Every structure is written in C-alpha cells, then in structure tokens.
Amino acid sequence: MPLVPGRQILNEAIKGGYGVGAFNVNNMEQIQAIMTAAVETQSPVFIQASRGALKYANLQYLRHLMLAAVELNPDIPVAMHLDHGNGLDSAKTAVDLGFTSVMIDGSLKEDAKTPTTFEENVDVTKKVVEYCHKYGVSVEGELGTLGGIEDGVGSGQIHLTDPDQAVSFIQQTGLDYLALAIGTSHGAYKFKTAPTLAMDIVKKVRGLCPDTPLVMHGSSTVPKDLRDEINRLGGKMPNAMGVPVEAIQEGIKNGVAKINIDTDGRMAITAAIRKVFMEEPDKFDPREYLTPARAAHAKIVAERMRQFGQAGHAKDYKPMTLAENKAYYESKAKTTA
C-alpha cells in the first residue's frame, strides 16, 4: 500500500463519523509502537514529525523510518505528515521527501512564536496549498492560536477561531483540513482545572463548511495514572492536566477528523523507562528499557485509536495515490476556474 494523502484518510473519517489520531514521532521505537497499535486495531493513521523532531532526529532519518513502517505494514493507510511547518520552504522540503500531508502553521510567523494577521496567514497558507497540490500532497492550515508551547512552537496566547473568518480562510486558501483554536493547549501543563472547550466553534464551522475536516491540536489527555506513576518513580509532574477523552469524542461527533497526540506517548515512554531504572538499577542496555517503553507507547496509542473510533477502518476503502490526488486537484481547479 502506498502512502496515502491525508485528504482521503480524513474525508473517509468524516463519512464514517470517527476521528483519526495523528501521533508525533522522534525515533524508531515511537514509529514501531504507533504501527503496532495501528495493526492491532486495524486503524488508518497519521504519523507526523514536528520541527522539534526534525531538529532532534534529522528529517532524512525520520523519512526512512516512516517508509519502513509503510513497507512492513502494507494493509494500513498511513499519511506521512509534517507538523507545524513554518513556511513555504519547509513544505517544499517535505514534498521532496515524499510526505503526503503538510501542515502550514500560518497563524504564527516563521519564528513560531509571533501571531500573524489574518491576511498574512491567508497569504502563506495559499502559497503552500498551491505548491503542495501540484504534487498531490494534502494541506492543513490553522486559524487562531493555542495556549502553551511545545517543541518551541506557540505564542503562549490563546486566540479562539472566529467561525466566520474560518469560512473565508478556507475559501481563500483552498486548504484540505483546518485546525481550530477552541481552548486546547500544547504541552503537558495545559490547564489548572478541567477545561471547557469552545465546542460551539466546532459546531458552527462544521455547519458552515461541512466538506472540510477539522483538526484538534494540543489534544493529549495527560493521563492521571501515568502522571502519578511518573511522580511515584521520582518524576515531577504534579500539575500536569490535559484534555478529557470525552471532550475529544464530542469534537469528533461535531466534525473533528484529526486529533494530534504527543504528550500521552511521551508520558507512557517515560513511566516505563523510570520503572526499569528504579526497580532494576543493574540494567544498562538501552534495549532493556526501550522495549517496555515501546510496548507502553503502543498500548496507549491503541487505546486512543479505539476511543477515537478509527479502529477497524483500515480496509474500508481503496487507498489513493499521490498521482490520483494530484489529478483530483487539477480537476477541481478546472471546475472552479
């Protein structure tokens, strides 16, 4: 099975009324864990690399690990996704390397911290869409900004998405799916109390733009059991709090098709490694602590896949190639010209 354009995976999710997890990767063990979970649950999946991941691992390393995952799991629809690209150059690099989905975060300037104007966001997102669509690559944009900072990305300010602006943004840019700011936040320390997300924004945008899949960033749940386990084993995460699974599921019911998850996996890995270090201090072979870490990561990813409803949908449709997706964009452009 070839790598699948993100547009197809998310359009099928909208049809089926489920969400698809987009899981961040930095190394081999994380990619193996995500694919283990996808095979176990028979789920389509986004595997995505952030700017922090590229700095840590190098894009070429991650690319080949992702390609290995696809080669070894031919029955699983996989979108290889660039998370939080910060300009046209980053999108070009991803396209050259064979990514099938690109996020351009035009809500922030290229420093990944300073919010842009609506017009600036439209301008950069439209340029990325025009470039990527020539190669059949799907594009995600973002309108509004999230709280928190992760991997150096984030203004630290929350600016909720204006639904009416979202309509104009989608029409002007031609993007494939849109990330909304509804009160979620990057990182493990999202909230001091249980959050109330602006689900009315999701509902309104969905009503105004029913054909555009929506995306929730900053959606890790920050599980209490993992937080307590990390703290028991010498960690310090006393105030970490995330998005309740029930809130994500409500979003899915109202049109959210892609859910970005990173912190949950990090916590599962950290808890497993700390357990080995605490209980078996004689261990020094990385394989002896990375093996349980990989298993713990796979377990929580499989749990999210079931909770998001994507489990069992891997073989629902014939995967589209980038060439076929390119033809779709060309046909659409002729129709709207």
State the catalytic residues.
83
Give me the residue label for tokens 């996020």: 103
Question: Alpha-carbon distance 22 to 254, whole Å?
Answer: 18
CA angle 298, 304, 307 (to 5 degrees): 145
Question: Alpha-carbon distance 232 to 244, whole Å?
Answer: 22
Two structure tokens written together for 91:
């999108």
Closest by CA to 10, choosing from 113, 100, 98, is 100
Q: What is the dihedral of CA 36, 78, 317, 259, to 10 degrees?
A: 90
Closest by CA to 10, choosing from 65, 81, 62, is 81
125 and 106 in contact (C-beta within 8 Å)?
yes
> Is the Cα torsion angle 102, 3, 293, 231 positive or negative in sign?
positive
For residue 54, how far is the Cα from the chain centroid? 15
Query: DSSP 3-state helix, strand, coil percentages of the chain (rounded to 5)?
Result: 50, 15, 35
Question: Alpha-carbon distance 87 to 47, whole Å?
Answer: 20
Give me the residue label for tokens 């990330």: 179
For residue 75, how far is the Cα from the chain centroid? 21
Using CB atoms within 10 Å of the CB of residue 240, give its burial: 0 to 12 exposed, 13 to 18 middle, 19+ buried: buried
Burial 286-304 (b: 16+ CB within 10 A, else e): eeebbeebbbbbbebbbbb
Say which amino acid occupies 77: P
